[in-house]
C-alpha cells in the first residue's frame, strides 16, 4: 500500500491531512530539489520564505495550502526525483503527488474542490460516444469561434487551445472488422486497453499497435466492458467515481490476465493509473494482479525483443534518419526507461529524447484558468522541439502531442506508428 492509503479510516480526515502537509512541506522546504518542476513547489517555497523560512512552515494559511494543492497538475515527476519516497527507505517518507490527491479529495468532499466543469470533462466515455457519432459536425464546431466561446463557458476549456478531433469510426469497431495478420504464435497473446484517446480520438495509434504486434506474432484481444481508466475523476477529486471505473476495468481485464495474457496500454497516463492507482484505491488481489501484468505498449515489445528479436525488415516502409521524441511525464513516472526510444531505434533512427513537460495533464492545461501557466511551463519543451532539425517528432501522449502541434506547428506521431510506417503497414 502507499503512504496515504485511500482505504484507511483517516484518509478523508482534514486535520490529519493538514498535519501531513505541514510535515511534508517542511521536509520539501529543507530539500528543494523539486523547485524547478512546477508552480506547486515554486509557490510553496515563496510562501515559506515570506514567513521567514522553513521553521515557519506550520504557519502557512489554509488558503496557501489550497493554492499548492490546486496548482499541482499531477505530472508525478517530483516522485521520480524525490530522494525520500517510500521505496527509498529513508527516515523522511514523502509522496507529494499522493498527498495532493488526498487533499484534493478532501476539498471535494467539503464542497470546495474542482468545479462542475472538471466533473463534466471527466465523463470521457459519454463525450467520446456523442462526439464520434457526430464527428464531422463536432470537429467543425471545435474550430468555430462562437462555438468555442460557448464551450469555454460550459466546460471551462479555453477557447484558444487546439482541441483533439474525434474519429468517425471508433477503434473498437475497426478492431472487430479488421483482417487479422496473426492468430497467435510463439510470442503469445495480449489484451489491449486502448484508452479513451485511442478509442474515440486517435484510433490510428491502436491500429498501429495491433498491426505491429500481429506482424511479430503477438495476437491481440480486446476485452469487453472496458471504460475510461478514471484518472479524470481523480483530477476532479471524485474518488468514488474513480473507484467505480477502476472496478469495472479490473473486472474486464482480470479474465485475460488469469488466462496468461499481458495487458498493453498505448497511453502513458492510463498505463500509470492501472499500474499505480488501482491497487491502492481498490485494495484487492484482483487489482494487484491486473496491475502487475499491465505494460506500456513499447515496454512490452522491447521485453519480447530481448527474448527473441522482433522483425527488423523495414525494406517495404518509410524510415527516418532522425526523430525527436518527448519522454512524457507519465511515461517517466512509470520508471520503465525510454522503451519507446528503443522501439524507434530498431528502425535505424537516431532518436533525440526531450524530457520536458507539456503541462496538459488530461484537461488541466486546457482549462481557461490554467492556460497562461501551462504555456509557461511547457515553453522549454516547445523550444526544444521547434529548434530540433529532426525529420520527425514523436510522442506517446496524444494530448501532449496536440499541445506540441499547437505551439510548434509540428505534428508528432506515436512511436508505434513510427514502427508501423517502417514496416509499411500503417493505414
Determine the 3-state secondary structure of 350 from DSSP: strand
- Give the per-residue pLDDT at 115: 64
Does residue 322 form part of some domain? yes
Q: What is the pLDDT of residues 308-321, one digit of tens each?
A: 999 999 999 999 99
Whether residue 237 is contained in a domain is answered as no
pLDDT tens readout for residues 109-127: 887 666 666 666 667 777 7
* Whether pLDDT at 83 is above 50: yes
User: CB within 8 A of 115, min separation 6: which ones?
Assistant: 156
Q: Do the domain assignments include residue 248?
A: no
Give the model's pLDDT for residue 363.
Answer: 76
**Closest alpha carbon to 425 in 268, 188, 263, 216:** 216
Last residue of a domain, one of 75, 109, 143: 109
- Structural domain ending residue among the three candidates 79, 109, 139: 109
Please determine, for residue 92, whether its predicted confidence score (pLDDT) is greater than 80. yes
Q: In sequence order, what are the residues at sequence separation of 6 or more whose Cβ sits closer than 8 angstroms to the Cβ of residue 39?
A: 71, 373, 377
pLDDT of residue 153: 84
147 in any annotated domain: no
Alpha-carbon distance 340 to 299, whole Å?
A: 7
Residue at a domain's end among 80, 109, 138: 109
Whether 386 maps to a domain, the answer reads yes
- CATH code (residue 396): 3.40.50
Q: Give the chain's length.
A: 427
CB atoms within 10 A of CB 136: 10
Mean pLDDT of 230-248: 92
Which domain, by its residues, includes 354?
311-423
The confidence score (pLDDT) of residue 1 equals: 47
DSSP symbols for 67-104: HHHHT-----HHHHH-TTSGGG--SS---HHHHHHHHH
% of the chain at pLDDT higher than 90: 74
**What average pLDDT does the chain have?**
92
The answer on pLDDT for 24 being more than 90 is yes
Residue 142: what pLDDT? Answer: 82
Considering the domain boundaries, does residue 197 fall inside one? no
Residue 175 lies in a domain: no
How high is the pLDDT of residue 126? Answer: 75
In a domain, 204, yes or no: no
pLDDT band with cut points at 50, 70 and 90 for residue 209: very high
pLDDT above 70 as % of the chain: 95
Residue 393 in 3-state DSSP?
Answer: strand
Number of domains into which the chain is organized: 2
Amino acid at each position: 500500500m502507499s503512504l496515504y492509503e485511500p482505504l484507511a479510516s483517516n484518509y478523508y480526515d482534514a486535520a490529519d491531512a493538514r498535519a501531513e502537509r505541514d510535515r511534508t512541506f517542511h521536509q520539501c522546504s529543507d530539500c528543494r530539489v523539486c523547485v524547478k518542476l512546477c508552480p506547486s513547489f515554486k509557490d510553496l517555497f515563496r510562501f515559506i520564505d515570506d514567513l521567514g523560512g522553513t521553521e515557519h512552515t506550520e504557519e502557512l494559511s489554509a488558503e496557501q495550502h489550497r493554492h499548492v494543492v490546486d496548482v499541482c497538475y499531477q505530472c508525478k515527476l517530483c516522485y521520480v526525483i524525490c530522494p525520500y519516497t517510500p521505496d527509498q527507505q529513508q527516515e523522511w517518507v514523502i509522496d507529494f503527488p499522493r498527498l495532493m490527491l488526498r487533499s484534493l479529495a478532501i476539498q471535494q468532499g467539503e464542497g470546495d474542490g474542482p468545479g462542475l466543469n472538471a466533473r463534466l470533462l471527466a465523463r470521457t466515455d459519454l463525450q467520446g460516444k456523442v462526439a464520434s457519432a457526430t464527428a464531422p459536425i463536432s470537429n467543425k464546431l471545435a474550430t468555430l469561434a462562437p462555438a468555442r466561446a460557448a464551450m469555454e463557458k460550459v466546460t471551462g476549456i479555453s477557447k484558444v487551445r487546439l482541441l483533439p478531433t474525434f474519429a468517425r469510426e471508433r477503434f473498437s469497431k475497426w478492431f472487430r472488422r479488421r483482417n487479422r495478420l496473426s492468430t497467435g504464435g510463439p510470442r503469445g497473446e495480449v489484451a489491449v486497453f486502448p484508452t479513451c484517446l485511442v478509442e474515440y480520438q486517435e484510433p490510428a495509434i491502436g491500429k498501429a499497435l495491433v498491426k505491429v504486434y500481429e506482424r511479430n506474432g503477438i495476437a491481440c484481444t480486446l476485452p469487453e466492458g472496458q471504460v475510461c481508466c478514471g484518472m479524470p475523476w481523480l483530477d476532479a477529486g471524485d474518488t468514488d467515481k474513480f473507484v467505480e471505473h477502476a472496478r469495472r476495468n479490473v473486472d474486464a481485464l482480470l479474465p485475460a490476465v488469469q488466462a496468461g495474457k499481458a495487458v498493453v496500454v498505448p497511453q502513458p497516463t492510463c498505463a500509470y493509473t492501472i499500474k499505480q492507482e488501482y491497487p491502492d484505491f481498490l485494495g484487492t488481489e484482483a487489482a494487484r494482479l491486473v496491475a502487475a501484468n499491465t505494460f506500456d505498449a513499447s515496454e512490452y515489445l522491447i521485453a519480447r525483443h530481448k527474448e527473441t528479436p522482433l522483425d527488423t525488415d523495414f525494406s517495404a516502409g518509410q524510415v527516418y534518419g532522425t526523430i525527436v521524441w518527448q519522454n512524457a511525464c507519465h511515461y517517466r513516472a512509470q520508471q520503465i526507461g525510454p522503451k519507446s526510444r528503443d522501439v524507434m531505434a530498431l528502425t535505424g533512427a537516431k532518436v533525440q529524447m526531450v524530457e520536458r513537460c507539456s503541462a496538459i495533464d488530461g484537461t488541466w492545461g486546457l482549462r481557461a484558468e490554467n492556460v497562461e501557466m501551462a504555456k509557461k511551463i511547457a515553453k522549454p519543451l516547445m523550444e526544444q522541439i521547434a529548434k530540433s532539425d529532426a525529420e520527425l517528432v514523436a510522442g506517446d501522449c496524444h494530448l501532449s502531442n496536440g499541445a506540441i502541434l499547437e505551439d510548434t506547428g509540428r505534428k508528432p506521431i506515436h512511436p508505434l506508428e513510427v514502427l508501423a510506417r517502417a514496416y509499411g503497414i500503417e493505414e
